[in-house]
Structure 1
């Protein structure tokens, strides 16, 4: 099947299955209760264009020390167009392809507590950086001069090894996720600091916004009120 046909099929399937209206998920969370290769959430971006800079922020809560996927953004030609992945022992991985990977050490997350994570990438410089619970990583180079193009498939709960699928149970996320936003630019540090401190930002994500989210939950995934359970 050609790339055009794959993109058309993906759009057709997801346009039939996604929710018609965007929802404000403020104060809510996605709960992934079990380790599985089926449960996931499909997110529909507010825009689909070539990206030369990105910021992704989210909060996660898990009791797992094993490796697990936090955010998977695929295109028809690249299943790891942008992958945020937590390896064992709090080693974080940012991927933009099988040969384009950087690792970050020393950013300790907390088990059985909420963790705030932001990741940025700028094509012009290649600089990629992470923040976890307010602590910043070293700045590393990743695909300087590259871009992210093609119809996106954005998934929470699983790592896409092919466009929209081929999930691995051992890489699935178990726990809760909330407050996800994605921008088509690198947020300045003062904005990231606000996010880390749970202070409302001036502008929500313009690619994906938790306050205006179109999504489809597949298999055993719950949408829950955070105040009722924590």
Structure 2
């Protein structure tokens, strides 16, 4: 009987993927703790695409997506540099700066970042507008990954800085282990019938919330 109770308790605590269609994560305040940890089973990436939508009033630097391994705290990271008005993708601790992203506060933005290990090329799409393709680093991302929304990892699963935290709303987070085509990215931006992420899928997301992060219905503008 005791064993049965323990098994039932473990089953009730086990995380199961949730369909977050029409939902958003709300990060309501600046902290060095509040975050969403996303569970993935992929341990090696020869290519990757990350897409998300976000809304913030922040006028400082902040993180948008942080994936770390034990060897690279910025294994795949997307960061907004407010001082230089640059969107910065980081791959295996190397980065590129893109200044052409019209990332205005107080409105929803769709951001997609792609990278391929063979060519070493990275590219950022801001609201459907592509950047130039630039070399950042080649070779696969490998090792146990920790993927976090809301905080920037300076170490594997830690090293958070409140002044780099995300404050606002985030939705429709997807990740693929290949480079999405321009047409697929445009379908995502336009919220059409696109192929969901095979690494992270907003419609079947396995996640854990730490601190004050809310799951709410996505706010839409009324006309």
TM-score normalised by L of structure 1: 0.87
Corresponding residue SS for 1:211: helix
Secondary structure of the corresponding residue to residue 68 of structure 2: strand
Match of 2:7 in 1: none
Report SS of the residue matched to 1:166: coil
Q: Are residue 79 (structure 1) and residue 60 (structure 2) matched?
A: no
| Structure 2 gap ranges (5+) | 1-9
Q: 1:65 aligns with which of 53, 59, 66?
A: 59
Shift in Å at residue 69 of structure 1? Answer: 0.4
| 1:21 counterpart = 2:16 | yes
Residue of structure 2 in register with 1:6 after alignment: none
3-state SS, counterpart of residue 170 of structure 1: helix
Q: Report the secondary structure of 1:193's partner residue.
A: helix
**For 1:71-112, what per-residue CA distance to the aligned partner results, in whole angstroms no more than 9, with x for missing partners?**
0001111111111001105311111234x1111111111211
Structure 2: distance between partners of 1:27 and 1:90: 30
In the TM superposition, residue 228 of structure 1 has moved relative to its aligned partner by: 8.1
Q: Secondary structure at the match of 1:160?
A: coil
Across the two proteins, how many residue pairs are aligned to each other? 211
Q: How has the CA–CA distance of structure 1 residues 112 and 25 changed in structure 2, closer, same or farther, with 3 Å as cutoff?
A: same
C-alpha displacement of 1:227: 4.4
Change (3 A) 1:171 1:227: closer
1:184 to 177, 189, 199: 177
1:142 corresponding residue in structure 2:
136
SS at match of 1:104: coil
Counterparts of 1:50 and 1:228, CA distance in 2: 36
* 1:94 is aligned to 2:89: yes
| TM-superposed deviation, 1:210 | 0.3
What do you get for the CA RMSD once the two structures are aligned?
Answer: 1.8
Report SS of the residue matched to 1:78: coil
Question: How far has the Cα of 1:159 moved from its partner?
Answer: 0.3
1:212 aligns with 2:204: yes
Residue of structure 1 in register with 2:38 after alignment = 43
CA distance in 2: counterparts of 1:65 and 1:168, whole angstroms: 16
2:5 aligned partner: none
Tell whether 2:159 aligns with 1:166: yes
The answer for the alignment partner of 1:193 in structure 2 is: 186
Tell me the TM-score normalised to structure 2 length. Answer: 0.90
Alignment CA distance shift 1:109-1:152 (3 Å): same
Q: 1:39-68 deviations in whole A, cap 9, x for unaligned? A: 0000001x2231010000000000112110
Describe the SS at the equivalent of 2:141: coil
Deviation at 1:200, TM superposition (A): 2.2
Spell out structure 1 runs of 4+ moving beyond 4 A: 227-230
Question: Shift of residue 189 of structure 1?
Answer: 0.7
